Amino acid sequence: DAGVIQSPRHEVTEMGQEVTLRCKPISGHDYLFWYRQTMMRGLELLIYFNNNVPIDDSGMPEDRFSAKMPNASFSTLKIQPSEPRDSAVYFCASSLERASGANVLTFGAGSRLTVL
Amino acid sequence: AQSVTQPDIHITVSEGASLELRCNYSYGATPYLFWYVQSPGQGLQLLLKYFSGDTLVQGIKGFEAEFKRSQSSFNLRKPSVHWSDAAEYFCAVAVGGGADGLTFGKGTHLIIQP
Protein backbone atom coordinates (compact mmCIF):
# COMPACT_ATOMS: atom_id res chain seq x y z
CA ASP A 1 0.00 0.00 0.00
CA ALA A 2 1.21 3.50 -0.80
CA GLY A 3 0.17 4.81 2.59
CA VAL A 4 -1.74 8.02 3.19
CA ILE A 5 -1.16 10.41 0.31
CA GLN A 6 -1.42 14.16 0.73
CA SER A 7 -1.18 16.94 -1.80
CA PRO A 8 0.22 19.43 -2.26
CA ARG A 9 3.32 18.92 -0.13
CA HIS A 10 3.99 22.63 -0.09
CA GLU A 11 1.67 25.54 -0.75
CA VAL A 12 2.50 29.22 -0.68
CA THR A 13 -0.38 31.60 -1.13
CA GLU A 14 -1.39 35.14 -0.38
CA MET A 15 -3.77 36.23 2.30
CA GLY A 16 -7.37 36.04 1.16
CA GLN A 17 -6.85 33.23 -1.32
CA GLU A 18 -8.64 29.91 -1.14
CA VAL A 19 -6.53 26.90 -0.21
CA THR A 20 -7.51 23.28 -0.78
CA LEU A 21 -5.56 20.42 0.74
CA ARG A 22 -6.17 16.87 -0.40
CA CYS A 23 -5.87 13.46 1.18
CA LYS A 24 -6.17 9.90 -0.02
CA PRO A 25 -6.43 7.49 2.92
CA ILE A 26 -5.23 3.92 2.99
CA SER A 27 -7.64 1.68 1.14
CA GLY A 28 -10.03 -0.04 3.53
CA HIS A 29 -9.51 2.38 6.39
CA ASP A 30 -12.79 3.69 7.77
CA TYR A 31 -11.54 6.64 9.80
CA LEU A 32 -9.90 9.78 8.47
CA PHE A 33 -8.41 12.56 10.57
CA TRP A 34 -7.13 16.06 9.82
CA TYR A 35 -4.50 17.51 12.15
CA ARG A 36 -2.69 20.83 12.17
CA GLN A 37 0.83 21.25 13.50
CA THR A 38 2.33 24.57 14.61
CA MET A 39 5.25 25.43 16.83
CA MET A 40 3.02 27.21 19.31
CA ARG A 41 0.15 24.75 19.58
CA GLY A 42 1.68 21.44 18.56
CA LEU A 43 -0.56 18.86 16.92
CA GLU A 44 -4.24 19.70 17.01
CA LEU A 45 -7.08 17.51 15.82
CA LEU A 46 -9.28 19.54 13.49
CA ILE A 47 -11.91 17.07 12.35
CA TYR A 48 -12.42 13.38 11.79
CA PHE A 49 -14.66 11.21 9.64
CA ASN A 50 -16.00 7.71 10.05
CA ASN A 51 -17.24 6.00 6.90
CA ASN A 52 -17.14 9.37 5.13
CA VAL A 53 -19.36 11.06 7.73
CA PRO A 54 -17.94 13.92 9.82
CA ILE A 55 -18.09 12.86 13.46
CA ASP A 56 -16.40 15.66 15.36
CA ASP A 57 -15.41 19.02 13.92
CA SER A 58 -15.01 20.80 17.24
CA GLY A 59 -11.34 21.38 16.49
CA MET A 60 -11.99 23.37 13.34
CA PRO A 61 -10.76 26.87 14.19
CA GLU A 62 -13.53 28.88 12.54
CA ASP A 63 -15.95 29.04 9.66
CA ARG A 64 -13.18 29.74 7.21
CA PHE A 65 -12.23 26.06 7.52
CA SER A 66 -14.29 23.29 5.97
CA ALA A 67 -13.64 19.62 5.28
CA LYS A 68 -15.38 17.09 3.10
CA MET A 69 -15.10 13.42 2.36
CA PRO A 70 -17.17 12.68 -0.74
CA ASN A 71 -16.07 9.06 -0.89
CA ALA A 72 -13.93 6.54 0.96
CA SER A 73 -10.79 7.38 -0.98
CA PHE A 74 -10.71 11.15 -0.91
CA SER A 75 -10.97 14.06 1.50
CA THR A 76 -10.35 17.78 1.27
CA LEU A 77 -9.63 20.49 3.79
CA LYS A 78 -10.44 23.96 2.51
CA ILE A 79 -9.55 27.35 3.93
CA GLN A 80 -11.38 30.33 2.49
CA PRO A 81 -10.21 33.04 2.86
CA SER A 82 -6.76 32.13 4.11
CA GLU A 83 -4.89 34.23 6.68
CA PRO A 84 -1.23 34.31 7.72
CA ARG A 85 -2.07 32.64 11.04
CA ASP A 86 -3.23 29.58 9.09
CA SER A 87 0.39 28.88 8.17
CA ALA A 88 1.12 25.41 9.49
CA VAL A 89 1.68 21.82 8.47
CA TYR A 90 -1.57 19.99 7.91
CA PHE A 91 -1.58 16.23 8.36
CA CYS A 92 -4.08 13.69 7.24
CA ALA A 93 -4.23 10.31 8.96
CA SER A 94 -6.36 7.23 8.52
CA SER A 95 -7.14 4.18 10.62
CA LEU A 96 -9.17 1.03 10.70
CA GLU A 97 -11.45 0.33 13.60
CA ARG A 98 -10.86 -3.13 14.98
CA ALA A 99 -13.01 -5.20 17.30
CA SER A 100 -10.36 -4.95 19.97
CA GLY A 101 -10.59 -1.18 19.81
CA ALA A 102 -6.97 -1.13 18.75
CA ASN A 103 -7.08 1.74 16.30
CA VAL A 104 -3.73 2.89 15.04
CA LEU A 105 -3.38 6.08 13.01
CA THR A 106 -1.20 6.15 9.92
CA PHE A 107 -0.13 9.64 8.92
CA GLY A 108 0.58 11.19 5.58
CA ALA A 109 3.70 13.26 4.95
CA GLY A 110 1.81 16.50 5.49
CA SER A 111 1.06 19.66 3.54
CA ARG A 112 3.10 22.69 4.53
CA LEU A 113 1.02 25.84 4.07
CA THR A 114 2.49 29.32 4.06
CA VAL A 115 0.12 32.26 3.83
CA LEU A 116 1.83 35.56 3.06
CA ALA B 1 -10.57 15.41 28.78
CA GLN B 2 -7.35 13.52 28.43
CA SER B 3 -4.00 15.30 28.20
CA VAL B 4 -0.37 14.42 27.63
CA THR B 5 2.70 16.12 29.07
CA GLN B 6 6.19 15.73 27.71
CA PRO B 7 8.28 17.70 30.20
CA ASP B 8 11.44 17.87 28.10
CA ILE B 9 11.33 20.11 25.05
CA HIS B 10 14.89 19.25 24.02
CA ILE B 11 17.19 16.40 24.98
CA THR B 12 20.79 15.96 23.89
CA VAL B 13 22.37 12.53 24.04
CA SER B 14 25.72 11.25 22.87
CA GLU B 15 25.70 8.60 20.18
CA GLY B 16 25.81 5.18 21.80
CA ALA B 17 24.39 6.39 25.09
CA SER B 18 21.05 5.32 26.51
CA LEU B 19 17.92 7.38 26.12
CA GLU B 20 14.76 7.93 28.12
CA LEU B 21 12.02 10.32 27.00
CA ARG B 22 9.36 11.12 29.53
CA CYS B 23 5.61 11.13 29.02
CA ASN B 24 2.83 11.64 31.55
CA TYR B 25 -0.83 11.42 30.79
CA SER B 26 -4.00 12.52 32.49
CA TYR B 27 -7.00 10.26 32.09
CA GLY B 28 -9.35 8.57 34.53
CA ALA B 29 -9.17 5.06 33.12
CA THR B 30 -6.42 3.09 31.42
CA PRO B 31 -5.77 4.84 28.17
CA TYR B 32 -4.39 3.67 24.88
CA LEU B 33 -0.84 5.03 24.63
CA PHE B 34 1.40 5.64 21.65
CA TRP B 35 4.81 6.97 20.73
CA TYR B 36 5.35 8.46 17.31
CA VAL B 37 8.54 9.80 15.71
CA GLN B 38 8.76 12.64 13.20
CA SER B 39 11.86 13.21 11.13
CA PRO B 40 12.36 16.68 9.61
CA GLY B 41 9.89 17.34 6.81
CA GLN B 42 8.19 14.02 7.31
CA GLY B 43 4.96 12.70 8.73
CA LEU B 44 4.60 10.84 11.98
CA GLN B 45 5.66 7.22 12.17
CA LEU B 46 4.37 4.89 14.85
CA LEU B 47 7.13 3.55 17.11
CA LEU B 48 5.03 1.51 19.51
CA LYS B 49 1.71 1.33 21.29
CA TYR B 50 0.21 0.06 24.53
CA PHE B 51 -3.35 -1.18 24.73
CA SER B 52 -3.33 -3.76 27.51
CA GLY B 53 -1.37 -6.67 28.91
CA ASP B 54 2.38 -6.57 29.40
CA THR B 55 3.34 -3.11 30.56
CA LEU B 56 6.67 -3.22 28.75
CA VAL B 57 6.14 -2.90 25.02
CA GLN B 58 8.64 -3.28 22.27
CA GLY B 59 8.62 -1.15 19.16
CA ILE B 60 10.51 -0.60 15.98
CA LYS B 61 14.08 0.68 15.70
CA GLY B 62 15.04 -0.83 19.06
CA PHE B 63 12.71 1.34 21.15
CA GLU B 64 10.68 0.19 24.11
CA ALA B 65 8.28 1.88 26.51
CA GLU B 66 6.94 1.01 29.92
CA PHE B 67 3.45 1.80 31.14
CA LYS B 68 3.34 2.65 34.85
CA ARG B 69 -0.19 3.16 36.04
CA SER B 70 0.85 4.40 39.49
CA GLN B 71 2.88 7.20 37.91
CA SER B 72 0.58 7.84 34.93
CA SER B 73 3.65 7.53 32.78
CA PHE B 74 4.66 5.92 29.52
CA ASN B 75 8.36 6.63 29.09
CA LEU B 76 10.23 5.74 25.93
CA ARG B 77 13.66 4.13 26.14
CA LYS B 78 16.46 2.96 23.94
CA PRO B 79 19.67 1.34 25.27
CA SER B 80 21.99 2.83 22.64
CA VAL B 81 21.05 5.70 20.33
CA HIS B 82 22.25 6.15 16.77
CA TRP B 83 22.70 9.44 14.92
CA SER B 84 19.68 8.52 12.80
CA ASP B 85 17.48 8.68 15.91
CA ALA B 86 17.67 12.47 15.89
CA ALA B 87 14.06 13.56 15.42
CA GLU B 88 10.96 14.83 17.19
CA TYR B 89 9.21 12.33 19.43
CA PHE B 90 5.56 12.54 20.34
CA CYS B 91 3.66 10.74 23.03
CA ALA B 92 -0.08 10.40 22.45
CA VAL B 93 -3.13 9.13 24.29
CA ALA B 94 -6.46 7.93 22.99
CA VAL B 95 -9.74 6.83 24.39
CA GLY B 96 -12.03 4.50 22.54
CA GLY B 97 -9.04 2.84 20.91
CA GLY B 98 -8.15 5.95 18.96
CA ALA B 99 -11.36 5.93 16.99
CA ASP B 100 -11.92 9.50 18.12
CA GLY B 101 -8.40 10.61 17.40
CA LEU B 102 -5.26 11.02 19.44
CA THR B 103 -4.25 13.75 21.85
CA PHE B 104 -0.58 14.51 21.44
CA GLY B 105 2.04 15.94 23.74
CA LYS B 106 4.06 18.92 22.55
CA GLY B 107 6.95 16.69 21.56
CA THR B 108 10.57 16.22 22.60
CA HIS B 109 13.31 17.19 20.18
CA LEU B 110 16.16 14.68 20.35
CA ILE B 111 19.64 15.84 19.42
CA ILE B 112 22.42 13.29 19.00
CA GLN B 113 25.98 14.38 19.69
CA PRO B 114 28.78 12.55 17.88
Q: Using one digit for the tens of pLDDT, what is the confidence trace for B52-97?
A: 888 999 999 999 999 999 999 999 999 999 999 999 999 998 865 5
Cross-chain Cβ contact A103/B98 below 8 Å: yes
Angle (CA) B39 B14 B34, round 5°: 40
Distance from CA of B43 to the nearest CA of A (A): 4
Q: Are A37 and A88 in contact (CB under 8 A)?
A: yes
Predicted local distance difference test score (pLDDT) of residue B101: 76
List C-alpha distances in Å: A54 to A30, A60, A72, B38, B105. 12, 12, 12, 27, 24
Of A33, A101, A108, the CB nearest to B43: A108
Instruction: Please report the residues numbered 47 through 76 in chain A whose beta carbons come closer than 8 angstroms to any beta carbon of chain B.
Output: 48, 50, 55-56
Predicted local distance difference test score (pLDDT) of residue B31: 82
Q: Are B103 and B93 in contact (CB under 8 A)?
A: yes
pLDDT in tens, B3-38: 899 999 999 999 999 999 999 998 767 788 999 999
**SS3 call for B101:** coil
Strand ranges in A2-110 using DSSP code E only, listed in sequence order: 5-7, 10-13, 19-24, 31-38, 42-50, 53-56, 65-71, 74-79, 88-95, 106-107
Inform me whether the C-beta atom of residue A33 falls under 8 Å from chain B C-beta atoms: yes
Please state the rounded mean pLDDT for residues A20-45. 94
